[in-house]
Amino acid sequence: MNVHSPISDLCAEGPGLITIEEACAAAAAYAMPISAVDEVPVREAVGRTLAEEIVARLAMPLFDQSAMDGYAVALGGGMMPAGARLPVEGRVAAGDTAGVLPDGAATRIFTGAPLPASADAVLMQEHGWRDGDHLVLSRMLRPGDNIRHQGEDITQGELLLNPGERLDARHVALLAAQGRETVRVRRRSRVGVVSTGNEIRQPGTPLGDAAIYDSNRPMLIALAEQAGLAVVDGGWMQDDPVEIATVLSRLMAQCDLVVTTGGASVGEEDYSAAAMKAAGARFETLKIALKPGKPAVVGQLGACAYLGLPGNPVSALVSWLFLGGAVVASMEQRRFRRRLGCPMPTTSQFQRRPGRTEFVPARLALGDAGPGVEILGRGGSARLRPLVLADGLAEIAPLHAPVELGDRVLFHPFRNGFAI
């Protein structure tokens, strides 16, 4: 079985190509950090970037408590053997106030309930039985068994979260458990999305000859909204550098980032660079060792960053996940994490030319050697059907060609909603 490195600076497709990491750094360099801060209810903070340090106000657990339904026992510091009989006194449920338990006695207790004073172990209810007013142990009990000790999870004053953390449901739970009602977060990044191309038509209008419906703009708007960004729909424009420059200038005055699709290559019908030049922006054209998504234009007009992505939908998607992710992370003052992926064997073959890191739709499959990934179809940056059937993207290293049955690739699941 072959094992290939996920990252390589070696490119077989000619000079001038840069790595994905270099491209992300170049794009991020045009982003202006967002300094404005909002204070929002904790429950509304999902997808926002933290703008303050979070220090623990409370120890967690706040008090010694039972980790099980069972019986709290005052062992007196020693162990208690199986067969021991203990008198049972009282009952403590979650939310109750616990009293004092005499040495050698037990009390009925439930998960999360405070431990009575002197109690130093909890017997799971399955590990003993009641004999009238007494408890009989069916196994040895030791000090500390089944107890959640005060502060064992979090100590008071401990640093919990740093600024720049992208908040999700886990962080909401932590903040709520600390009694936080609000939290300070970065203002949402404002992203304008534009599609270009004479061949583009909008749903609900006739196609005509050699025309296609606009899928990139709805897709990128959805991706940006899933990432928690504030989206401005910039609409569709024909391939006219002056018209594009006018719209870009207007959008870039109100957005932190403007993204266009189409016209990002170097052909005579590619207008992204010409439009940026006409708008008076500073920019550069990148040639990335990435497939799909080799060409991209990155730049800045005023305080607004710009991404000119390829026009084919899979190219636009892959480019957004990397370049868009790097730019948004830079704006929100958080560290951009390159997708690592999970090494998995392939259950199918895939013919390709070496030279660029390639991302292809793939789905989870069960092969002879266990779980693996099946690469769907022959790829292609304009094919949406394999993308819809896929469970994620398979990342193939630049010099990994061809991909044979059982070779390892890096699998990037879609389960996180294409988060950037």
Yes or no: say if 345 and 372 are a contact pair by the CB < 8 Å rule. Answer: yes
Q: Tell me which residue of 233, 277, 230 sits closest to 251, measured CA to CA.
A: 233
Helix (H, G, I), strand (E, B) or coil at 245: helix
pLDDT value of residue 12: 44
The pTM (predicted TM-score) of the whole model is: 0.82
Q: Is residue 5 predicted with pLDDT exceeding 50?
A: no
pLDDT value of residue 266: 54
- Residue 83, phi-psi category: left (phi > 0), alpha (psi -120 to 50), beta (remainder): left
Give the up-direction half-sphere exposure of residue 150: CA atoms within 13 A in the CB hemisphere: 9
pLDDT value of residue 8: 39
Decide: residue 120, CB within 10 A, 0-12 exposed, 13-18 middle, 19+ buried. buried
Per-residue DSSP letter, 31: P
Q: Is residue 417 predicted with pLDDT exceeding 60?
A: no
pLDDT value of residue 385: 87
Q: Is residue 380 predicted with pLDDT exceeding 90?
A: no
Q: What is the rounded CA–CA span in Å between residue 408 and residue 369?
A: 12
Q: What is the rounded CA–CA span in Å between residue 15 and residue 242?
A: 32
Q: What is the rounded CA–CA span in Å between residue 124 and residue 66?
A: 10
Q: What is the rounded CA–CA span in Å between residue 20 and residue 8?
A: 10
> In the predicted model, what is the mean pLDDT of the chain?
90
Does 84 or 335 have the greater pLDDT score?
84
pLDDT value of residue 386: 87
pLDDT value of residue 264: 61
Yes or no: say if 196 and 246 are a contact pair by the CB < 8 Å rule. Answer: no
Q: Is residue 10 predicted with pLDDT exceeding 70?
A: no
Q: How far lies 229's CA from each of 98, 221, 325, 328, in Å?
A: 48, 9, 11, 9
Kind plus residue range of the DSSP H or E element containing 305: strand 304-309
- In the structure, what pLDDT confidence band is assigned to residue 165 with cuts at 50, 70 and 90? very high
pLDDT value of residue 40: 98
pLDDT value of residue 7: 39
Q: What is the rounded CA–CA span in Å between residue 1 and residue 107?
A: 59
Domain segments of the chain: what residues? 20-36+187-331, 38-59+156-186, 65-148, 342-413
pLDDT value of residue 273: 85
pLDDT value of residue 218: 95
Q: What is the rounded CA–CA span in Å between residue 371 and residue 382?
A: 28
pLDDT value of residue 230: 95
CATH superfamily, domain 20-36+187-331, is: MoaB/Mog-like domain (3.40.980.10)
How is domain 65-148 classified at the CATH fold level? Molybdopterin biosynthesis moeA protein; domain 3 (2.170.190)
pLDDT value of residue 189: 95
pLDDT digits (tens, 9 = 90+) for 211-258: 989 999 999 999 999 888 999 999 998 888 888 899 999 999 999 999
Contacts of 130 (CB under 8 A, 6+ apart): 88, 136
What CATH number labels 38-59+156-186?
A: 3.90.105.10
pLDDT digits (tens, 9 = 90+) for 294-326: 899 999 999 999 999 988 889 999 999 999 999
Tally Cβ neighbours within 10 Å of residue 128. Answer: 23
Which segment of 47-51, 149-153, 198-202 scores lowest on mean pLDDT?
198-202
Give the up-direction half-sphere exposure of residue 194: CA atoms within 13 A in the CB hemisphere: 29
pLDDT value of residue 339: 77
What CATH number labels 342-413?
A: 2.40.340.10
- In the structure, what pLDDT confidence band is assigned to residue 66 with cuts at 50, 70 and 90? very high
- In the structure, what pLDDT confidence band is assigned to residue 270 with cuts at 50, 70 and 90? low
Which segment of 43-52, 144-153, 360-369, 402-411 scores lowest on mean pLDDT?
360-369
pLDDT value of residue 198: 87
Which segment of 69-78, 207-216, 344-353 scores lowest on mean pLDDT?
207-216
